[in-house]
Structure 1
C-alpha cells in the first residue's frame, strides 16, 4: 500500500532518519514508538506530504487516502455545531443533500418533469452513498467519544481543546481513509473513550499507524511495532508486549556481537601498535589498519529501562490522618459535581482517581488542594501535612528565562548542584542540557522538569493531575519508579491504565455525586467492575420478584440526656488532649530544628562534651515527638467514636 525506501531526513546536521525503510500493508495496525525527539511525529508528517524528505522515496498506491490526527488540530475553531463539523467528512453527500433541498424548494412553485428526473438521479446517488444514514453515523461516533446528545448542536468554539480534538477525531473516523495516522490520540481522551476507540480501531477496515505512550492501548490495538532508533525504523511483528520480549532478545545478541567486535578491535590495535615499526611486519600492520577502517561497527546496547534511585526527604512527618473531606457539596450553577460527599485519606495511601471526563476529577483535586471553594462542607488536612500539586497548566508557571538547574534550585535550595544534576539525569537531562533555558524546551521536556520540581519539594503529600501526558514511555517508567520509592501519600488522576496499575493501592471514582473507594489495585478494580456489570445485567434480565413486605425497624433505645451530657464531656476532654498534643508537637518541632542547626555548627562539633549533650537532647526530643504523635492520633480516633455515638 505504502512503501518507504531508504528514507533520509536531517535536522541541521543531526539525522532523524538515514536510509530507513518500511512497508505498510493494507489493514495493518502499526504502533510507532521511540524516545521523544527521535522523529515519530516527523515521519507521519513526511508520509502526509507536509515535510519533504532529504533522500529516499515514498511510494503510494493510486487509491490510497490518508487521514492524520495531530496536535495542531487543537487550534481549529468555528461557530458551527460539532455535529456539522463531524459531518464535513461527507463532502459529496452534503453536496447532494444541498441539491435535493434546492430541487424540492424549486418544485414547490415550478413542478416540471425535468426537475423530477433530476431529483430522482440525485436521490439515487445519495442513497447509493448511504446519505440517509450519515447523520446517524456521525452522532454514534461523537457519542462514543463522550459527547452527550445535547452537546451535538453546541458550537465547536465553546469546547475546550481536548474536546475539540475529539470532534476532529470523529470527523477523521467518518472519512475512513485507507491509512489512519493518529499522533498521541489518548492524550485528550478519558478511559471510557479510550476503550471505545480501541474497539473501533480493532475492527477498522483500513491500515492504522498510531504514536502513543499508553502501553495497554498499544497492546490492545496494534499487530506490528515499529521502533524509531538510531535513525532507522526497526520492525517487530507483534504488539508492544511482544516488542519488549523480542527487543530483550535482540539486545542480548547485539550485546554479544558488540563485545566480540570490541575484543577483536583491541586485539587488532595491539598487533598494529606492536608491529607497525618493524619492516618485516609493516605490510601486515598496514593491512590491519585498512581492515579496521572498513569494519562496520556494531552499536553498543543502550539500556532504556535502567533503574533509577530517588532520595526523598520530608521536612516533617505527617500524622496518621492526611485528609478528611466532610459533607462536601460542589456545583457549578445547575451542574452538581458532589453532594454531601465524604472521603478520608490515611498516611501511605497511593490513590488513583479515575473515570470519565466531566465527572469532576480535576475539580476534586483542586478541592483537596484548597484552591477550589466548595458550596458546603469542610476540608481538613491532618497534622504536619505539606502538599505539592502538579497539573498541566502549571507548566506555564515555569520561569522561561531560568535554566533547568535554576528552576530546580527554586524547588529545593538545600540540594547541591551535584544532587540536582542527579535528579535531572533521572529525568533524562544530562551533561550541558542542564543549562538549557526553559523557553527552548518541548512540552514533554517541560512536563519532566515540572515533575522533578514536585518530587524535590519535600512535600509528604502529592497531588498529580495527568502527569503522564506528553511523556514518552521511558519517562513514564522513570515516574513509576519515583512513585514506587516515594514513602509519602499521593492522589493521581490518570487515564493511563498501565501507569495506574503500577502505582496505586486504592482506586477512587466519582459516582452518583459521591466519592467512592475501591480498596485494591487497578487490576483488581477492573475485575470487580466487570463482575458488577455482569451481575447488574443478570438482575435486569430476570423477572423481578415482588418486594418483601417491610419489616418493623429495630431501633436502638435513645440515650438519656444525662448519658449524652457525659459523652459530650468525654468528647470535649479528648479534643482538648489532641489540641494540647498538637501544640506541644509544634513547639518540639521548632526545638528539633534549632538543635539540628546547633549540631551542624562547627563550634558545637568542635567541643565533644557539648556535642554529646546536644545529641542526647536531640534524640530525646525526637522520641518525645513520636510519643506525642501517637497520643494525638489515639485521642483523635477515640474522639471520632464518641462523635458517632452523639450523631
Structure 2
C-alpha cells in the first residue's frame, strides 16, 4: 500500500480565511486514520483535495486509488443493485454480496428499491459497494450518520477486521475508538497527527489545553505584576523630576541620576511586559472555546404535552409497529430508539400531522402546544443567514450569536447555507430550533454531523433547562446522559 505526501498545502474558499496554510503531512496507506476536527475546519475539503476535486496550492503526491463515501446514486428509484452497478459498471454482484455478509447484512436488500431503504441500510450498502472495489483506498465521510446502535456495532466490527487502510471522519467517540489506530486532527491553526485512537488523542489534547490554560494564568499574573511595578517606577521618576525642578536645595545630580535609573528600569519592564503580552496572545490559540447554549422554552399548564395511545404505523403496505403508547410531560426527555427502518422518523411525521400511509391508535398533542423541530433532512435550507432568519422569524443577531456559540467561524456567516459543510448546515437547523419559542422540542437525530464539543453543549443545556423533548438518537453516551425515559420501537 502506498503513502500520501502533502507539501505546503494551502487552501481557502473565496473571500474566506485559509482552511490550510502551508501544511506538511505524511500518511501511511496502511493506517486506519481518523480525520477529526470541529465542523467547518475542512475535513471533507481535505478529502475532496485528495480526490483532486478542489484547486489548491502546494503538492499532494500519492499513488493510492481513492474512493469516496458516500457515493452518488444516479437513480435512487431503481433496485439497489441496478443503482449501484449503474454508478459503477465494474462492480460485481458477488463482491457486494460478500461484503454485505461480512457486515452481517442480508444481501436481499440488493433487490429492494434504493430509495425505500432506511438511511442505515443505504449506508451499509454503499460501504459494501465501496470495499468491494479491489485495491481502492476508502475515504469515509461520516458513515455513522443514520446508523442505529446495532448498525454502528456491525460497521465497527466490519472495519476493525479489514486488513487495509482508510481515512474516516465521525463524531461517534466509541465507534472511533474501536476502528482507528491513528488520528489526524485539524485544530484551529495546525494539523496534529498522532498514533492511537480518539480517546488517546483527546487525553493528550486535554493535557495540552490544561498546560496552556495554566501558562495563560501565569502570564496574566506576570503582566499584572509588571504593569504595577512599571507604574510605580514611572511615578517615582515623575516625583523625582518634580522635586528637581522645584526644590532649590536638592541634590539635583543625585536625583537626576536616580530618575534616569528608574526610567531605564521602566523601559526594561515595558519590554518584558510587551513580551509577556505577546506570549499570552498565542498560548490559547489551540484551546477550544465552548460557550453554554440557551433555549427559548415557553411555559405550559398542560400535565401532558404529547400522548400516544396504542399507535400503529403501516408504510408501503408493511406494518412497522403497533400498540405503541407513551407520554411526554413537561421536563421529560423521552428518547425514541429502535433499529433503522423501524418507523421512528415516520412516527415524527405523523405527530407533526404530515402525510403517512396508515396510522392507527391515537396521537394527542395538547391544545395550543408549540413544537420546535430538528429534522434529519433539511435540503430546503438555502440563501444567506439573514434571509434564513427572516423566513423563520428569528432575530438575525441572536441567530449569529448562537452559531458562534456552536463554534461556527464569523468568516462563514457570508457563505450561502447550501454551500456550507454538512456540520455547519446542521448547526443552522439546530439554532433555528433553539431560538423558536416552544413548549415541546422534537429532534430527529440531532447529533448527526455535530462534533463532540457541540454534543457536550447539548447535554449540558438539556440537563440544566429540562425542556420537554422527544428525541431520536443512537449515540449511547448521549442517551445515558439526558434521557428521563426511553421508548424502543
Q: TM-score range by the shorter chain?
A: 0.7 to 0.9
User: Is the 1:390–1:450 contact (alpha carbons within 8 Å) kept by the matching residues of 2?
Assistant: yes
**Deviations along 1:274-319, whole A, 9 cap, x unmatched?**
89xx89979x98xx69x96xx8874424543635152644243321
Q: How far apart in 2 are the matches of 1:157 and 1:419? A: 37
Aligned position for 2:455 = 476
CA shift, 1:335, in A, is 0.7
Change (3 A) 1:211 1:261: same
Greater Cα radius of gyration, structure 1 or 2: 1
TM-score by structure 1 length?
0.59
**Match in the other structure for 1:151:** 109
Change (3 A) 1:209 1:397: closer
The aligned residue for residue 509 of structure 1 is 488
Residues of 1 paired with 2:354 and 2:166: CA distance?
42
Among 310, 331, 344, the residue aligned to 2:327: 344
The CA deviation string for residues 12-45 of structure 1, in whole angstroms up to 9 with x for no partner, is 5622222323332353222111122211112222
Q: Using the TM superposition, give the Cα deviation of residue 353 of structure 1 relative to its aligned residue in structure 2, in angstroms.
A: 1.4
Aligned-pair CA distance for 1:362: 0.8
Report deviation, 1:198: 0.4
Q: Which ranges of structure 1 fall in alignment gaps of 5 or more residues?
A: 95-133, 511-647
Q: Does 1:190 align with 2:148?
A: yes
Query: 1:185 aligns to what SS in structure 2?
Result: coil
Extract unaligned runs of 5+ from structure 2.
238-259
Matched ranges for 1:231-380 at <5 A: 231-257=189-215, 298-301=282-285, 303-304=287-288, 306-310=290-294, 312-319=296-303, 321-372=304-355, 374-380=358-364
Cα shift at 1:509: 1.7
Does 2:436 align with 1:457? yes
What residue is the counterpart of 2:256 in the other structure?
none
Deviation at 1:234, TM superposition (A): 0.6
Partner of 1:27: 30
Q: Size of the alignment, in residue pairs?
A: 455
1:442–1:201 CA distance, 2 compared to 1 (3 A): closer
Alpha-carbon RMSD: 4.3
The structure-2 alpha-carbon separation of the partners of 1:23 and 1:302, relative to structure 1 and needing over 3 Å to count, comes to: closer
Q: Structure 1 pair 224/388, CA: closer, same or farther in 2 (3 Å)?
A: same
1:225 to 183, 186, 194: 183
Contact 1:184–1:211 at 8 Å: present in 2 too? Answer: yes
- Residue by residue over 1:502-541, the C-alpha shift from the partner in whole angstroms, topping out at 9 and shown as x without a partner, is 222322221xxxxxxxxxxxxxxxxxxxxxxxxxxxxxxx
How far is 1:199 from its partner? 0.5
Alpha-carbon shift at residue 369 of structure 1 (Å): 2.9
Q: How does 1:11-50 map to 2 (within 5 A)?
A: 11=12, 12=14, 14-50=17-53
CA 1:260/1:324 → structure 2, altered by over 3 Å: closer, same or farther?
closer
For 2:433, what is the secondary structure of its paired residue? helix
Higher relative contact order (CA 8 A, sep 6+): 2
Structure-2 residue corresponding to 1:583: none
Change (3 A) 1:203 1:147: closer
Match of 2:75 in 1: 77
Aligned partners of 2:39 and 2:408 also within 8 Å: no
CA contact (8 A) 1:86 1:167 kept: no
What does 1:461-610 correspond to in 2, within 5 Å?
A: 461-510=440-489
**TM-score, structure 2 as length reference:** 0.76
The C-alpha deviation readout for 1:608-631, integer Å capped at 9, x for no partner, is xxxxxxxxxxxxxxxxxxxxxxxx
Deviation at 1:464, TM superposition (A): 0.9
The answer to whether structure 1 residue 2 and structure 2 residue 3 are counterparts is yes
